Amino acid sequence: MNGQNLILIPETKTGIPQEYTGRRRSEVKLLRIDRMKGSFEFGEFEAIFNLLNPGDVLVFNNSSLVPAHFRPYDREEEKFVDINIGYHEKGLIAEARSRQTNFHAGKRLYFADGSYISLSRRMKDYGRYWEIDPGNGFDFHGLSSSEGSYIIYDENMRYLPGSVYASEIARIPGSVEYPSASRPFTGLIMNRLKKNGIRTLEITLHCNLGSLDATEFYNKKHLLPEYFSVNADVAEELTYLSRNGSRIIAVGTTVVRALESARKGDKFYPAHGYTNIMIDGYRKTGINGLVTGMHDPSTSHLLMLSNFVDIELIKASYSAAAESGFTWHEFGDSCIIL
């Protein structure tokens, strides 16, 4: 990805949960991008039923969000600081969010239960993240429940309850950032899919810390590691269905990463562990379509979309969507590419 591929679009609006506007989660807008025709159109999310055929397979991520933002105390500078905690293959990482704080190797940050973490070293490839050493009984999952809050990048969202992140699909705790693509798929939508002969399957991929900016993943062929799991039954069914003409449609970029980490040729295999796979327009995938949210134009998510459709068509459709009032980010509108 280079400067010519960065997408310049009009100023975008951040969506808010539909529940606060008196509407159902499924009442969002839908951007449809048609690769074969080289065209796009706007509609309501429920128009998705006109785009899916009996025998199509929608694959969902069943990972659910856990609180991963903390305000530990910095005894060295005698103040509370803001950090987000994520993970890598060997342990945990922290993203320092407080400005005007001297974060350095060896700095200890203390929590209300008396535990602490020490900043060990900056990650080699992504310098805004620190590898951390847990100390004195530090328990990430315990602290997440007692002291953590959900990671947000918009102050207006700071006091949202956990219910806005919950769903029938998200059942396996582990994501530190919201895997939001499946949010419009309410129970009513899922039942209608079943009645229409649309199959649904699930994988797990726990979303790690923030979507990387273009300046960070430029010329790199990997992203931050994320834990994923594709079980044997799902792998076997996907292989059978795809070989027999069913369209495999991922609900979320997380699903694409998980499935590509479990695929060789035309076969999917049971797999689990960490994946740092990066998918761009040069990698052929075994996926026939994607349902996703509206992503920032300079993030790695957008690079993945170029695997499904020409970057110029993405630019045009995103620009038109912004001018038509589409909203962005985890509570924004949706996009489908087939």
Q: Which residue has the higher pLDDT, 288 or 301?
A: 288
Q: For residues 189 and 305, state if they share a domain.
A: yes
- Measure the CA–CA gap between 293 and 301, rounded to whole angstroms: 10
Residue 79 belongs to what domain range?
Answer: 69-146
The CATH number of whichever domain residue 60 belongs to comes to 3.40.1780.10
Residue 284: per-residue pLDDT: 74
Domain for residue 153, yes or no? no
Residue 289: per-residue pLDDT: 94
Where residue 301 falls among pLDDT bands split at 50, 70, 90? low
Q: For residues 195 and 255, state if they share a domain.
A: yes
Per DSSP, 47 falls in state G
pTM: 0.92
Where residue 7 falls among pLDDT bands split at 50, 70, 90? low
Domain for residue 151, yes or no? no
Domain count across the chain = 2
User: φ and ψ at 184, to 5 degrees?
Assistant: -70, -10
Tokens of 283: 């990698």
Domain for residue 152, yes or no? no
Domain for residue 193, yes or no? yes
Q: For residues 127 and 224, state if they share a domain.
A: no
Q: How many CB atoms lie within 10 A of CB 284?
A: 8
DSSP 198-255: -EEEEEEE---SSPPBHHHHTT-SEEEEEEEEE-HHHHHHHHHHHHTT--EEEESHHH
Q: For residues 21 and 74, state if they share a domain.
A: no
Q: Choose one of 146, 171, 194: the last residue of a domain.
A: 146
pLDDT over threshold 90, residue 124: no
**3-class DSSP state of 38:** coil
Q: For residues 116 and 32, state if they share a domain.
A: no
Q: For residues 7 and 120, state if they share a domain.
A: no
Q: For residues 173 and 37, state if they share a domain.
A: yes
Q: Choose one of 101, 126, 146: the last residue of a domain.
A: 146
pLDDT over threshold 70, residue 286: yes
Q: For residues 211 and 259, state if they share a domain.
A: yes
pLDDT over threshold 80, residue 93: yes
Q: Choose one of 93, 114, 146: the last residue of a domain.
A: 146
pLDDT over threshold 80, residue 156: no
Convert the pLDDT of each residue in 158-194 to its tens digit: 788 999 999 989 999 999 999 999 999 999 999 999 9
Domain for residue 225, yes or no? yes
